[in-house]
């Protein structure tokens, strides 16, 4: 109508109102008083997203997977998977959270109600993550404390925890490295930090390490007081936790580049083994890495973006933060491979023969071993483990009740055999389940909610709809690459090992039960929703698949009506 001045759509508690500047009858428009917290500054949000996406996985998971898959050959599928899979899903979650301004559970009533179980699964997965992820940060805190000494405790074989296999080859020309040799750094990690030799696998994990329990308690205390006032507090904390790692990485990169033999690691990192591109496992690992690195499916991006203003440019945020994340992984690769090249030079072996095990051992054995033999080793050890702690802390989101639950749930990972539990939870509690969640989320949004409806939501926020590239990725490519990971992981599951321990068959079955315990809420809720919705089966399906009208849609319809002469 002429003279109509519509109120801009907002999100929060609905309130009926209207604006009218002529004498015609008032036209109702849904407006809102937004009671939801907002970020104090735009940079608070960006650093929080970067802090979540850039975590320990960038420092240990990416370099190790790259190491296992032929160095430079892995970078090709990694970049392709990022462009066509990871970044589109990252953008999708930021846009969903900002438009609907709600969390991972309640958002489904606005998308496709029958998929609400996905939100519950995300919560269970997040719980499993908290059981082991904070334990890894506690290990870093133990190292940080141990670093305050003139001589770092993992530099020699003269300690009470060392064995006859301990071999210190730095600064010595007549030492031969064999398959049974163990470095001082490895024995410090396995026999002093973990005391894993006191456990008999998963059958007898032994008692709780009180030193690690104290470290974990301190970590949870820091997490709680960083978040107890919501985004107003966490938005300030990330200014330190999200930026400090880059300062440390730069320092370590410069130092690593000056180490003898560093060039050998860089060559291995950048020179592709082209035959590796013909192996399916390389592409599966690349897809899995970019998915875990950017973090869609965990619900955190939904939560963080829900505190943004409605018109915030989430497209630009997605591109910037994704680029920062991927570049961080690439830089971390240079940092790690310069060190691996140095270690290969000292041991007189090939670069591919340096690292033994997958997972945190790359952080807690390989790096401390190299740092211990640098000039100013105490300084470099301190800043390295500060970086690890901050990388972990700004990826953790919990409140007081969850802090208590997560701390109690983490006790099994603090035992002498806790590292075995950490590995099991990492593999089954998160791995397969979160990929299934991401796949179903992509299907629900692009197929059931509808890519056109979703594009209109983005247009309402940004003023322009996403291009054809994003639509094709959301509808076809991203779901396809997630389905590819799921099928490939089911067809060929590698044996699970840690150090010299091979996980028994019964523990693998337990792992699948853990995975099922998070995924099962999706079909359970689907059945519940269909049974409790009134009407015929056809009517029930229509109701369960149709999103509830959001406040923004009511606003948009009212404004369209107002524009009719």
Question: Is position 293 annotated in a ligand binding site?
Answer: yes
Three-state secondary structure call for residue 200: strand
Question: Is position 37 annotated in a ligand binding site?
Answer: no
Question: Is position 87 annotated in a ligand binding site?
Answer: no
Question: How many C-beta atoms lie closer than 10 Å to residue 302's C-beta?
Answer: 27
Question: Is position 51 annotated in a ligand binding site?
Answer: yes
Q: Are 479 and 84 in contact (CB under 8 A)?
A: no
Instruction: Say how far residue 333 (Cα) sits from the centre of its chain.
Output: 17
DSSP code string of 257-295: HTSTTHHHHHHHHHSB-GGGGG-HHHHHHHHHHHHHHH-
Question: How many C-beta atoms lie closer than 10 Å to residue 170's C-beta?
Answer: 16
Q: Are 293 and 365 in contact (CB under 8 A)?
A: no
Q: List the beta bridge partners of residue 13.
A: 33
For 93, residues 6+ apart whose C-beta sits below 8 A from its C-beta are: 296, 297, 301, 302, 305, 441
- Ramachandran quadrant class, 259 (left: phi over 0; alpha: psi -120 to 50; beta: rest): beta
Q: Are 305 and 314 in contact (CB under 8 A)?
A: yes
Question: Is position 159 annotated in a ligand binding site?
Answer: no
The residue among 256, 271, 264 whose CA lies nearest residue 341 is: 264
The residue among 233, 252, 223, 251 whose CA lies nearest residue 390 is: 223
Rounded to 5 degrees, what are φ and ψ at 464?
Answer: -145, 145
The dihedral through the CA atoms of 294, 64, 390, 195 has a sign that is positive
- The strand pair at 29-33 and 497-498 is best described as unpaired
Q: Which two tokens stand for residue 521?
A: 């809420």
CA gap 372, 382 in Å, rounded: 11
Cα distances from 536 to residues 16, 228, 333, 539, 541, in angstroms, run: 34, 47, 57, 5, 9
Question: Is position 53 annotated in a ligand binding site?
Answer: yes
The residue among 30, 7, 31 whose CA lies nearest residue 19 is: 7
Q: List the beta bridge partners of residue 272.
A: 71
CA gap 403, 230 in Å, rounded: 14
HSE-CB at 502 with a 13 A cutoff on CA atoms is 4
The label of the residue with tokens 């059931």 reads 448
Cα distances from 159 to residues 146, 188, 221, 549, in angstroms, run: 14, 9, 32, 67
Q: List the beta bridge partners of residue 166.
A: 182
CA gap 271, 75 in Å, rounded: 10
Q: Are 212 and 135 in contact (CB under 8 A)?
A: yes
How many H helices and E strands in the chain?
Answer: 27, 4
Question: Is position 54 annotated in a ligand binding site?
Answer: yes
Cα distances from 543 to residues 109, 174, 303, 485, 533, in angstroms, run: 11, 76, 26, 32, 8
**Binding residue positions:** 51, 53-54, 58, 293, 325, 391, 394-395
Q: Which residues are annotated as a binding site for Na(+)?
A: 51, 53-54, 58, 293, 325, 391, 394-395
């Amino acid at each position: 109508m002429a003279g109509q001045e519509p109120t801009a759509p907002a999100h929060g508690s609905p309130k009926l109102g209207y604006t009218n500047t002529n004498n015609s009858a008032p036209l109702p428009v849904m407006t809102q008083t937004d009671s939801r917290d907002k970020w104090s500054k735009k940079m608070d949000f960006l650093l929080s997203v970067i802090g979540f996406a850039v975590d320990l996985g960038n420092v240990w998971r990416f370099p190790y997977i790259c190491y296992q898959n032929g160095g430079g050959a892995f970078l090709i599928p990694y970049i392709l998977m990022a462009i066509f899979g990871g970044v589109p899903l990252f953008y999708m979650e930021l846009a969903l959270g900002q438009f609907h301004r709600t969390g991972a559970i309640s958002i489904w009533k606005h998308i496709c109600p029958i998929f609400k179980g996905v939100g519950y699964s995300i919560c269970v997965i997040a719980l499993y993550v908290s059981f082991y992820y904070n334990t890894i940060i506690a290990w870093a805190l133990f190292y940080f404390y141990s670093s305050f000494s003139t001589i770092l405790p993992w530099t020699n074989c003269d300690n009470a925890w060392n064995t006859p296999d301990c071999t210190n080859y730095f600064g010595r020309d007549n030492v031969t490295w064999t398959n049974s040799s163990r470095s001082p750094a490895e024995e410090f990690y396995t026999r002093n930090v973990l005391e894993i030799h006191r456990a008999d696998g998963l059958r007898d994990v032994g008692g709780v390490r009180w030193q690690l329990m104290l470290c974990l308690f301190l970590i949870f205390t820091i997490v709680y007081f960083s978040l107890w006032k919501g985004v107003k507090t966490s938005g300030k904390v990330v200014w330190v936790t999200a930026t400090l790692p880059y300062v440390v990485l730069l320092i370590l990169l410069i130092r690593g580049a000056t180490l003898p033999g560093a060039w050998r690691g860089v060559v291995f990192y950048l020179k592709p083994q082209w035959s590796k591109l013909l192996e399916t496992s390389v592409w599966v690992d690349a897809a899995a890495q970019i998915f875990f690195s950017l973090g869609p499916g965990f619900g955190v991006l939904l939560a963080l973006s829900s505190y943004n203003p409605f018109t915030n440019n989430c497209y630009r945020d997605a591109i910037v933060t994704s680029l920062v994340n991927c570049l961080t992984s690439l830089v971390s690769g240079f940092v790690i491979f310069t060190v691996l090249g140095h270690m290969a030079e000292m041991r007189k072996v090939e670069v591919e023969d340096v690292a033994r095990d997958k997972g945190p051992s790359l952080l807690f054995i390989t790096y401390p071993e190299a740092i211990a033999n640098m000039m100013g080793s105490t300084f470099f050890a301190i800043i390295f483990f500060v970086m690890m702690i901050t990388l972990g802390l700004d990826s953790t989101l919990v409140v007081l009740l969850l802090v208590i639950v997560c701390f109690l749930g983490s006790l099994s990972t603090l035992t002498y055999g806790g590292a075995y539990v950490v590995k099991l939870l990492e593999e089954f509690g998160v791995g397969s389940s979160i990929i299934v969640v991401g796949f179903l989320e992509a299907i629900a949004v692009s197929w059931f909610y509808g890519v056109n409806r979703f594009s209109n939501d983005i247009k309402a926020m940004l003023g322009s709809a996403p291009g054809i590239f994003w639509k094709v990725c959301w509808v076809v490519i991203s779901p396809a690459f997630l389905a590819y990971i799921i099928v490939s992981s089911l067809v060929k599951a590698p044996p699970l090992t840690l150090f010299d321990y091979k996980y028994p068959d019964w523990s693998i079955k337990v792992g699948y039960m853990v995975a099922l315990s998070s995924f099962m809420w999706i079909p359970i809720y689907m059945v519940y929703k269909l049974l409790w919705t009134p009407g015929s089966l056809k009517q029930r399906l229509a109701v369960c698949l149709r999103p509830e009208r959001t406040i923004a849609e009511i606003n948009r319809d009212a404004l369209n009506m107002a524009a009719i002469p």
